[in-house]
Structure 1
Amino acid sequence: MNPDTISSHHFKYNRDGIEDSTLLTLYRLMLKPRMIEEKMLILLRQGKVSKWFSGIGQEAISVGVTAVLDKEEYILPMHRNLAVFTGRDIPLHRLFSQWQGKANGFTKGRDRSFHFGTQEYKIVGMISHLGPQFGVADGIALGNLLKKNNQVCAVFTGEGGTSEGDIHEALNVASVWSLPVLFCVENNGYGLSTPTSEQYKCEHLADRAKGYGMESHILDGNNILEVYSNLKRITESMRENPRPVFVEFKTFRMRGHEEASGTKYVPQELMDAWAAKDPLENFTEFLRNEGILSEKDEVKMKEEILHEINENLDIAFAEEKIKSSESEELKDIYQEFVYQKVNENSETKELRFVDAVSEGLKQSMEQHENLVLMGQDIAEYGGVFKITDGFVDAFGKERVRNTPICESAIVSAAMGLSINGFKSVVEMQFADFVTSGFNPIINYLAKSHYRWAQNSDVVIRMPCGAGVGAGPFHSQTNEAWFTHTPGLKVVYPAFPADAKGLLATSIEDPNPVMFFEHKALYRSIRQEVPTNYFTIPLGKASILREGIDVSIITYGAGVHWALETLSKLNISADLIDLRTLIPLDVETILSSVKKTGKAIILQEDSMFGGIASDISALITENCFEHLDAPVRRVASLETPIPFASNLENQYLPKERFKGILQELLDY
């Protein structure tokens, strides 16, 4: 970045009626993080902190943003925004403990540096994947709109992060939904070592906002008064007229991406030019010249801050290394959820699977006023499977929201809604499309409670499965991607009543739930279903048949294949419908196998890496002395799912199941 592209009146500070006391406050807010950073660089060289991402030279941006936001308004910073954390008056010893991985930090030693959030200070820290942060801000802002609280939220990224697809999705959603988000892009010259010339082709990143129909501004990120005055005006306007605003801050990173990276890739003349534009040194000189900051006051302020730093460092260093146990680590994967059973009423009506899902969703909307539905075509159109047909009339467009085609931003927005006190259900139009939203599910929803005790009150509905001639992109049953990820719950009902009751519980549960609905069952399976709102506990399998010869363990469409097979054979079998895969009802599985001595696991997913493999291992490890035969697995072919019906039938394990079951019985 050429520093000459910054306006020529670079450090002509315009007070614009700002009082002396405010000027001194802004000075102190910049001085404190600078002094902390200088101390951290010494400690890094001494090996007393493990890593450091320096924001030296960029303090004016973080200070300006934090100063114009109310304490109740969320800020989503990155790892070069120390001044956001200090500007919100987080006790320094807690920050120091966080950086040392100690218990008094914010993540119990489970994440480092600025990878944390805190509801107490309304800060939501970054994840390393950068992009989802913008979508999370969308969700927080949507929550603000729904609360009608006239609040804005601010979110940061660097110029490198703007190349991520998540960023573009989130900007588009914010614009379409008129969300009051202040999108802050710190254009500091390099994404690690990649210069802006290799990062984007437009002249200014702010120009991109035009494509989203979004207001944008370019500010000198090294001029604290330009940042503060403009952002104060912008945020006040956003509160009165909710809308997103894109702000590009022209600045420079004076140190490496992190300290180990160095800055050898930066031309020396560029470093020298930007060093002359240091935001703190220039503002200090301005305050001295204006007679606002005396040498005595400056020395006193530095002494006070240095004392605060050293005093708090002593507290953090004196703290013992963190200790934990396996049980403590496992306990924090999920927010505690005390299941409340709501009994079924005696009145029932025959419902198809699809109608039971719809009714369960509708009654949950009535039960939870803070529940928001999001998905493609779910509003007036009612969804491609018509599950939300009529919901807009019943609940309004604020709670039943059509989304652009951008799975990642919407999952991230669901996370933001949870942070802001809402529940949400996101419909993947087809489970196959979840790959476009994979990152925030795996790295945000699943990990947040473990990392910083922030739950993800999100259900993702997953219409899945083959048998309807939909081909490779609309037929996958991809639950194994999620059963492998700690922090998610995975539900997979086979019957209408189970679907209704389990969906209600999944929505009540404050943790992220992947809720699988088999498309081939939608209109082919009917059942008498209680008419009221009721719940079924997660983690409890259903025993559909009882016998002594073999344990058949399955879920989803496999339950119906097993029932059909059993109806043709004279077999005494336990038939276990798992219903939920995470948490898994291990006790029911093991007690059945210990009784029968034989086990066969049927899944629609292809074999390798599927959940049948883990269940088989559990049985082998825990029931070995009870087994009269090897545990058998039956699954689909190791190919993508073909379209033509004869190929699809060959792919699916339904016909193979009967033969393998007979082999097992004959063993």
Structure 2
Amino acid sequence: MSNHSYIISRLNFNRRDLDSKQLLSLYESLLKPRLIEEKMLILLRQGKISKWFSGIGQEAIAVGVTEALKKDEYILPMHRNLGVFTSREVPLARLFSQWQGKANGFTKGRDRSFHFGTQDYKIVGMISHLGPQLGVADGIALAHKLRSEKKVTAVFTGEGGTSEGDFHEALNVASVWDLPVLFCIENNGYGLSTPTSEQYRCQNLADRGVGYGIVSHMINGNNILEVFSEIKSLAASMRENPRPVLVEFKTFRMRGHEEASGTKYVPEDLMNHWSALDPVENYKTYLFEEGVLNEETQNTMIQNINAEIDQAYKITSEEPEIVGNLKCELDDVFAPFDLESTHIENTSKTSIRFIDAISSALDLSFERHQNLILMGQDVAEYGGVFKITQGFIDKYGKDRIRNTPICESAIIEAAMGLSINGYKAIVEMQFADFVSSGFNPIVNYLAKSHYRWGQKADVVIRMPCGAGVGAGPFHSQTNEAWFTHTSGLKVVYPAFPSDAKGLLAASIEDPNPVLFFEHKALYRTIYEEVPDSYYTMPLGKAALLKSGSKASVITYGAPVHWCLDLLKYNPDWDIDLLDLRTLCPLDYECIKASVIKTGKVLLLTEDSNFGNVMADISAYIAEECFEYLDAPVKRLSSLDTPIPFAQNLEINYLAKNKLEEILAKLMAY
């Protein structure tokens, strides 16, 4: 279908090769979400449900796409795509419980609407930020392609969502990697109240496919037969010839963005035009004219569907309100994981640099986990900007060591999609600073997925970070505090090669999302005897590097070495030096033991002062160890400024230059 102006004036149904049974089946699939919606709108007016996002007038898209795909192909719908769930035969009682926050739903009352997924039905629901699911679809499709499976992944967005950066990044990645993703745009006229004329300038959203080298199509989204037949044909072609396809479905939203919004902003003549194009009523009329449907069959369908709805609603209504359980709430933040212990006492060791330890952990993990994928800018032939993955492409191939476009958001989302579809993923940020371009999918998708619907996010994001190398404001941040605040993320920050190797291997084993910080200033300056073989170290265990009684210095990363250097020149300083190694989970037990022993504590970090992770550790010590303190808890951090480039300014910025003075004062207190 060509990409010309596409205005729907009438619905012309063509049964093509569909028999009467198939035509009736499509009608029943179309009718079911409509009748459910009508029930929900009544319940909303009665105050029995709190919110509703209506898909009335758009049912043919969700139903047609879902019926055209195979049951084991993933679909990533939006909040108006009830027809996806009903066509996949998700039990209505569970759907109704989901909408009412009951335990029988899919999120244990933790999220609403279609903000959930279910592997049982190969559905991955949206989050409110809309865009990330597009990149997730890329990752799911990539997993299929890597396994040489002839499967399509369908993902939905609205015309408003096509303005988000995630849309453009996801299309670009899918195009570059020839991923079999069916990008479905439901162009329903309004983004809440904003008309399409104020959302984009191109004549049709399908036109955007040209810029990404993607073939695009426009389909009458109110014509169930056109949707079903066209998508079935496209999907069959994509399975044999993997590639992305962009489809713009022309339709209209007949009700408000959500019911409280109303539709007063819609011109009356426009509403009347689309009312005449109702997908359910028009298809029903066609079936009557064709002699496929009669009053008796129609009434029987309605009675059966309404009976199913009423029975499901009765089950949900009788279900008790969910009650909070503290242990359950906390336990579900992370996927369960028991790290197998590794014995390395008698293995051979080699003196290697920090950067070599990272490379070794990656190399051995790739040998161990055949489903492990690494993605990042320049990580393949070039070996990464720090040459950590040099030679990996020769050993593991381009399928597993993947150069990416410069689109951090879509690549992190693709990593999530890989996890959903059975892979482990590592994403390398060239510099930790650049993670800001992928912040949303980390804190809103990866971090919350297991808590929301039990889906693990088996993703490690490697974060080369830190100052001290004259890299300036955009290549020097140590931004771990951005992530320690977000429940559902693990944050690891080693200071030694042996820890880096063992902790990185463990992070890759862990099915939860891990931010793994690697201080660039340590890469080629710190050597250590490191076991040659594969081993892991448990996350959440601090290391006591020096034992003393006069004061505790609690730190992590490069500042560990600042302290060790200082203590070399002050051997009489009786200091407890604690390397946290992992910031989430924290080793509270080890922190408490050290503070109780010495009574004085310095919390040292390279990060800027306000809001860093040491502020929370300070509060913990004040709450749990107050009676053991012989001096106020002292924090030492870098300046509350961006990180400067010039050497003298960088020295002035870092907390290192104040360490000796502050520690001496603390011990003398």
Partner of 2:204: 204
1:256-655 matches, within 5 Å, as 256-344=256-344, 345-569=346-570, 570-655=572-657
CA RMSD in angstroms, aligned pairs only: 0.9
Identity %: 67
TM-score, normalised by the number of residues in structure 2: 0.99
Q: State the secondary structure of the residue aligned to 1:544.
A: strand
Structure-2 separation of matches of 1:526 and 1:7 = 68
TM-score, normalised by the number of residues in structure 1: 0.99
Unaligned segments of structure 1, at least 5 residues: none
Partner of 2:155: 155
Structure-1 separation of matches of 2:593 and 2:356 = 34
Alpha-carbon distance, 1:141 to partner: 0.3
Structure-1 separation of matches of 2:626 and 2:499 = 32
Structure-2 separation of matches of 1:327 and 1:227 = 47
Partner of 1:49: 49
Q: State the secondary structure of the residue aligned to 2:398.
A: coil
Judged with a 3 Å threshold, the aligned counterparts in structure 2 of structure 1 residues 225 and 433 are, in CA distance, closer, same or farther, namely: same
CA offset digits 1:341-370 (Å, max 9, x no partner): 122242001110001000100100001000
Structure-1 separation of matches of 2:390 and 2:8 = 58
Alpha-carbon distance, 1:128 to partner: 0.3
Structure-1 separation of matches of 2:323 and 2:472 = 51
Structure-1 separation of matches of 2:195 and 2:636 = 53
Indicate if the aligned counterparts of 2:6 and 2:218 stay in contact, CA closer than 8 A. no
Q: Larger deviation: 267-276 or 345-354? A: 345-354
Alpha-carbon distance, 1:6 to partner: 4.4
1:203-242 matches, within 5 Å, as 203-242=203-242
Indicate if the aligned counterparts of 1:459 and 1:513 stay in contact, CA closer than 8 A. yes
1:116-127 matches, within 5 Å, as 116-127=116-127
CA offset digits 1:25-65 (Å, max 9, x no partner): 11000100000000000000111111100000000000111
Alpha-carbon distance, 1:326 to partner: 1.2
Structure-2 separation of matches of 1:577 and 1:109 = 39
CA offset digits 1:400-427 (Å, max 9, x no partner): 0000000000000000000001000000
CA offset digits 1:312-357 (Å, max 9, x no partner): 1000000000112111100000000011112224200111000100
Alpha-carbon distance, 1:7 to partner: 4.9
CA offset digits 1:169-192 (Å, max 9, x no partner): 000000000000000000000000
Give the AA of the match of 1:624: F
Indicate if the aligned counterparts of 2:5 and 2:203 stay in contact, CA closer than 8 A. no
Structure-1 separation of matches of 2:347 and 2:406 = 42
CA offset digits 1:87-141 (Å, max 9, x no partner): 0001100000000000000000000011010011110000000000100000000
CA offset digits 1:353-398 (Å, max 9, x no partner): 0010001001000010000000000000000000000000000000
Structure-1 separation of matches of 2:477 and 2:254 = 49
Alpha-carbon distance, 1:547 to partner: 0.7
Q: State the secondary structure of the residue aligned to 2:625.
A: helix
Give the AA of the match of 1:417: L
Give the AA of the match of 1:610: N
Indicate if the aligned counterparts of 2:554 and 2:578 stay in contact, CA closer than 8 A. yes
Structure-2 separation of matches of 1:139 and 1:244 = 13
Structure-2 separation of matches of 1:10 and 1:444 = 40
Give the AA of the match of 1:567: K
Alpha-carbon distance, 1:225 to partner: 0.8
Aligned residues: 664
Indicate if the aligned counterparts of 1:600 and 1:632 stay in contact, CA closer than 8 A. yes
Structure-1 separation of matches of 2:347 and 2:131 = 49
Give the AA of the match of 1:591: A
Alpha-carbon distance, 1:11 to partner: 1.6
Unaligned segments of structure 2, at least 5 residues: none
Structure-2 separation of matches of 1:325 and 1:27 = 43
Q: State the secondary structure of the residue aligned to 2:208.
A: helix
Partner of 2:25: 25
Q: State the secondary structure of the residue aligned to 1:115.
A: coil
Structure-1 separation of matches of 2:497 and 2:614 = 24
CA offset digits 1:635-663 (Å, max 9, x no partner): 00000000000000000011101111011
Indicate if the aligned counterparts of 1:10 and 1:220 stay in contact, CA closer than 8 A. no
Structure-2 separation of matches of 1:658 and 1:117 = 53
